[in-house]
Structure 1
Amino acid sequence: MAAVKQKKSAMAQWVEAALLHRDISQSELARLLGQRLRIGFDRSKVNKIVTDHREVSAEEMLAIEEITGYPAPAGLRTVAPTDKTSAKVVQVALLDTVAAGKLKAPSSQIPVEDVPLLAFADLGRGDFFALTVEGDSMDRISPDGSVIVVNQADRTLVSGKSYVFSDRGKAAFKVWRPEPPRFVPFSTNPIHEPHYVKSKAEAEKLVIGRVKRTVLDL
């Protein structure tokens, strides 16, 4: 007598549909999940999800939605397990563009009601907004067109960390270096130059916030 094939769970079916929607393999999804969640995540874990041998946490479900652009059905949001380590999801306003290059004036004035909101997990404490990067002076970590999440509650300068700063009404995105005090590009393009300041104290007056995360859709 032939075995009866068991129907897959709604979660497994959704992950399979998300893979098809984005047209990526299980291995590629595993790689992107590992990058997004900052944990080890291999193809076997994705395979166990789509074969109903592994549950999906709330944080993983959010990450799969962000990676594939395929939203989970409302019913699954009550199914995904949560625990004390599950990340809090924060809605972050995507306000404008920022130059990864020469200083640039803000390009638009967006009405409050039209500001798009992006969902991020595991940002920690802070006051966040998001910007779209223009230019290639930071392309080693944030290529042109990527989105950066900025914590405007964190303005303390730390060497090697990235910041959005404003000088004479124009904003830019660069890495802080203290000796001599300057904001420097981190780019594959050698034409970009540092932005020098007189002192760390002066630089901190220019800082809008520290860049917490960079995101790029492939």
Structure 2
Amino acid sequence: MTEVLVAAATALWLGVLTSISPCPLATNITAISYIGRRIDNTRHVLLAGLLYTIGRVAAYVGLASLLLQTALSVPSVAQFLQKYMHLILGPTLVLVGMFLLGLIELRFGGQGLSESVKQRVDRLGIWGALLLGVLFALAFCPTSAALFFGNIVASLTVGSTVLLPMLYGVGTALPVLGFALLIALGSKKLGETFNAITATERWVRTGTGCIVLLVGCLLTIQALLQ
């Protein structure tokens, strides 16, 4: 039970960390701009923020479930994971920690939406926030890809195909939901809050990276000694 709670809290935190990292933050700024268009309508802003969150959660849970169920449905793969999962988790966390610390760098394609997709989102009205959440969740960049893969491995370890991806998705949308709330309340602290988040992101990412790397090393050593 304790292992599941720790994994759940970690998944939520890594989701938040993903959302404030430079690459995903760019898409979240776009989402905030879209959600805040109707700043005069508090209910509209809050509902759009909620729909965006649901879209991200649905995308991550759906993709994780598809990957996990596909892997577990193949007997040879399931047996391999059951036998060697304890050996995989440690090195996976080491790689994720190195990535967060900038020791490993990857470059993916651009994150922008095509003009036709933007028009389709606009035509959906408030429901466009739901589609936007799905699209931005699936527009993986190095940070989100590494952390999402880490959550996939952790999900296999704790035997959950829904909980960890769901919490990770909630975490990635929490800052946008928070900004939607600030917009709805007409907060004058919006700019200051955004600047504070971007200023602390590097230190938060470095601290988390050190912890993840340390835990990964310890699990790896423990697995090798067994």
**TM-score per shorter chain, which class?**
under 0.3
Taking structure 1 as the reference length, the TM-score comes to: 0.20
Structure that is richer in helix per residue: 2
Higher relative contact order (CA 8 A, sep 6+): 2
Higher strand fraction (1 or 2): 1
Q: TM-score, normalised by structure 2?
A: 0.19
- For the pair shown, the structure with the greater C-alpha radius of gyration is 1
